[in-house]
Amino acid sequence: MIHSRNRRLRVNESIRSLVRENTLTTDDFVMPIFVMEGGNQQEAIPSMPGIFRRSIDLTVKECKELFSLGVKSVNLYMKVSEHLKDNTGKEAWNKDGLMQQTIKAIKDAVPEMIVMPDVALDPYSIYGHDGIIENGKIVNDATNDALARMSVSHAEAGADIVAPSDMMDGRVLAIREALEESGFADVGILSYSAKYASSFYGPFRSALDSAPKDNMEIPKDKKTYQMDFHNSREALNEVFKDIDEGADIIMIKPGLPYLDIVSKVREAIDLPIAVYNVSGEYAMVKAAAQNGWLDNDKTIIESLTCFKRAGADMIFTYFAKEAAMILNK
């Protein structure tokens, strides 16, 4: 006779929900948003169905709708005009730049929205790299100086948390010291500590035109600074260094193919962990759903819940708005 029957706790939804270990809510989501120049402008991103580049006014409207759905955090990316790009990234700390205007507009319209601007030079670079290039190489320390100036500029505009995604060595310390010296001790740092050189970023780079340029004199990819996807122990090394330098939240990117990294980091640290459900993951689900191969809503919720089960506290996802609508049903 069987005395222990696990199925007793799966008999119906009421029992299943009673013993459920992880629950997904709208509080878990951070919505990445693409911003472009102009007014009343919106452009669809073909590789990311349902995602758009928007001008500031429409971005503010979108943020109001997100907040009403329970999504209380946004992550900002700029589509920078070509004439503003160079090898220094100086447009990134222009007090009247597109990013700075966007931060101010969102905080004025939705003060309680948590605004996390991306900190990296690739949208501002003529080369499409996250750092300054000298003699054909991405230079680390000069890039850190630029990232620190960029972060202070974001803080001055009203950012709650800055999110360096570049993977330069020591940039968290440079940013933390610059924020402290500028009077922004309360501005947090969400560090992309374990960001892998991944093939899953393709749709994102097309959305911002931020892929490395085809130039024989510069690296053709980002493997000299982003992590090798073959490695896992290295992720802990990166995480511990960023914590020592003053990071408040740790990011792991990409998401679904890297759940083992999320779990490994969760076991090692007590700080909040963010995970990025990246553009390629979004595009795959959307393509399969549009072809009738997957159930769109069920796949979204299952995928996002997997991040919570692995140990993530927050999820950067292009599904944020759609998932909020599903959960609110």
- Active-site positions read 195, 253
Three-state secondary structure call for residue 79? coil
Q: How far apart are CA 266 and CA 240, in angstroms?
A: 12
Q: Is residue 249 a contact partner of residue 312, using CB atoms and an 8 Å limit?
A: no
- Strand 137-139 to 132-134 pairing: antiparallel
Q: Is residue 275 a contact partner of residue 194, using CB atoms and an 8 Å limit?
A: no
Question: Is residue 180 within a helix (H) or strand (E), and if so which, with residue range?
Answer: helix 171-181
- Strand 114-119 to 73-78 pairing: parallel
What CA–CA distances, in Å, run from 125 to 58, 60, 89?
A: 26, 26, 6
Q: Is residue 199 a contact partner of residue 229, using CB atoms and an 8 Å limit?
A: no
Q: How far apart are CA 81 and CA 235, in angstroms?
A: 34
Amino acid at 284: M
Residue partners of 74: CB distance under 8 A and separation at least 6: 30, 31, 32, 33, 63, 66, 106, 113, 114, 115, 116
Place of tokens 């990232």: 147
> Helix, strand, coil: what percent of the chain each, to 5?
45, 20, 35
Q: Is residue 201 a contact partner of residue 122, using CB atoms and an 8 Å limit?
A: no
Q: How far apart are CA 325 and CA 310, in angstroms?
A: 23
Q: Quick one: which of 209, 280, 277 has its CA closest to 36?
A: 209
